[in-house]
């Protein structure tokens, strides 16, 4: 699980909020699977609305190009963003994101992401609660523009919003490395390799670090 601070800057957030103020939203239950239909009560941006498409594209581009996301999620396929809105009384109860993502190309769900658009003081409730591997749940109510990524196989929920409205974008990605422990180890190795490349360019140590990194990639990464 990791946080990407300031994935979106103030100007982008302002533009997104302006677009979403006018955009069409429809009942999120329409896209819920059988396992989550009864616990889902939110609104989703209508993907046929040009304003929604613009927000989807902008956030997707920022996320998929972000160095921290690339290193930590090792994404292969990142699904289009879904724009979620929770007005007063809305929530999304405990559920898991679907392991197989329909679409072209089909993908496996490995890493889920929420990008927060609303400031924490604009709404009450609405926390994203993610059950971690150890069973101790973690609660997120992040500043606008921040993102949180967590393994798609963890149970999570959005608490009922009791005042105001909560806007966020979510997506699920297939990682080049399915196993979460390997993914973390690979991210660590890629970070230390970059550091060695910086401080010890053209040394046997750099060549060794590159070798380990490349061979781990060959061993674990799906092309
Ligand atoms: O809005 C969120 O933060 C997460 C929503 C969610 O879990 C989902 O759309 O699958
Ligand atoms: Fe979810």
- Tell me which ligand sits closest to the C-alpha of residue 81: 1
134 has a pLDDT exceeding 80: no
Kindly report the CATH number that applies to the domain delimited by 2-175.
2.60.120.620
User: Quick check: 14 and 78 in contact, CB under 8 A?
Assistant: no
29 has a pLDDT exceeding 90: no
The phi and psi torsions of 105 (rounded to 5 degrees) equal: -80, 155
100 has a pLDDT exceeding 80: yes
100 closest CA partner among 187, 52, 182, 35: 35
- For residues 168-184, average pLDDT: 97
CA 181/CA 169 separation, integer angstroms: 26
Instruction: List the binding residues for 2-oxoglutarate.
Output: 166
Among 117, 161, 170, 173, the mutation site with the greatest number of ligand 1 atoms within 8 A of its Cβ is: 170
Ligand 1: residues with CB < 6 A are 84, 92, 97, 114, 128, 156, 158, 168, 170
Instruction: Quote the ligand 2 centre to 96 CA distance (angstroms).
Output: 6
pLDDT of residue 93: 95
Q: What is the number of other CB atoms lying within 10 angstroms of the CB of residue 67?
A: 9
Lowest model confidence (mean pLDDT) among 5-9, 35-39, 54-58, 120-124 = 35-39
Q: Whose CA is nearest to atom 10 of ligand 1?
A: 97
Among 84, 144, 160, the mutation site with the greatest number of ligand 1 atoms within 8 A of its Cβ is: 84
Q: How confident is the model over 142-174, as pLDDT tens digits?
A: 999 999 999 999 999 999 999 999 999 999 999
Instruction: List the binding residues for Fe cation.
Output: 95, 97, 156
Among 123, 128, 144, the mutation site with the greatest number of ligand 1 atoms within 8 A of its Cβ is: 128
Please give the share of the chain, as a percent, with pLDDT higher than 90.
90
pLDDT of residue 37: 73
212 has a pLDDT exceeding 80: yes
Instruction: List the binding residues.
Output: 95, 97, 156, 166
35 has a pLDDT exceeding 80: no
User: Quick check: 92 and 37 in contact, CB under 8 A?
Assistant: no
Pairwise pLDDT comparison (103 vs 48), residue with the higher score: 48
Q: How confident is the model at residue 32 (pLDDT cuts 50, 70, 90)?
A: confident
Residues 6+ apart with CB under 8 A from 18: none
- 3-state SS assignment for residue 127: coil
Lowest model confidence (mean pLDDT) among 28-37, 59-68, 154-163, 192-201 = 28-37
Burial 11-47 (b: 16+ CB within 10 A, else e): eebeebeebbeebebeebeeebeeebeeebbbbbbee
Instruction: Quote the ligand 2 centre to 157 CA distance (angstroms).
Output: 7
């Amino acid at each position: 699980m990791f946080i990407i601070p300031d994935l979106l800057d103030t100007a982008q957030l302002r533009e997104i909020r302006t677009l979403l103020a006018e955009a069409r939203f429809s009942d999120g239950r329409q896209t819920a699977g059988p396992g989550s239909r009864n616990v889902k009560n939110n609104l989703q941006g209508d993907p046929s609305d040009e304003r929604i498409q613009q927000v989807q594209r902008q956030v997707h581009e920022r996320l998929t190009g972000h160095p921290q996301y690339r290193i930590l999620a090792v994404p292969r396929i990142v699904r289009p963003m879904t724009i979620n809105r929770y007005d007063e009384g809305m929530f999304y109860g405990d559920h898991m994101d679907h392991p197989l993502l329909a679409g072209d190309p089909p993908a496996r769900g490995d890493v889920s992401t929420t990008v927060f658009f609303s400031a924490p003081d604009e709404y009450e409730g609405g926390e994203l609660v993610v059950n971690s591997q150890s069973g101790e749940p973690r609660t997120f109510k992040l500043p606008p523009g921040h993102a949180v990524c967590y393994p798609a196989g963890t149970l999570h929920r959005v608490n009922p919003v009791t005042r105001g409205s909560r806007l966020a974008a979510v997506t699920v990605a297939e990682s080049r490395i399915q196993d979460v422990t390997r993914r973390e180890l690979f991210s660590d190795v890629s970070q230390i390799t970059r550091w060695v490349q910086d401080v010890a360019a053209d040394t046997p140590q750099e060549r060794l670090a590159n070798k380990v990194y490349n061979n781990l990639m060959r061993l674990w990464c799906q092309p």
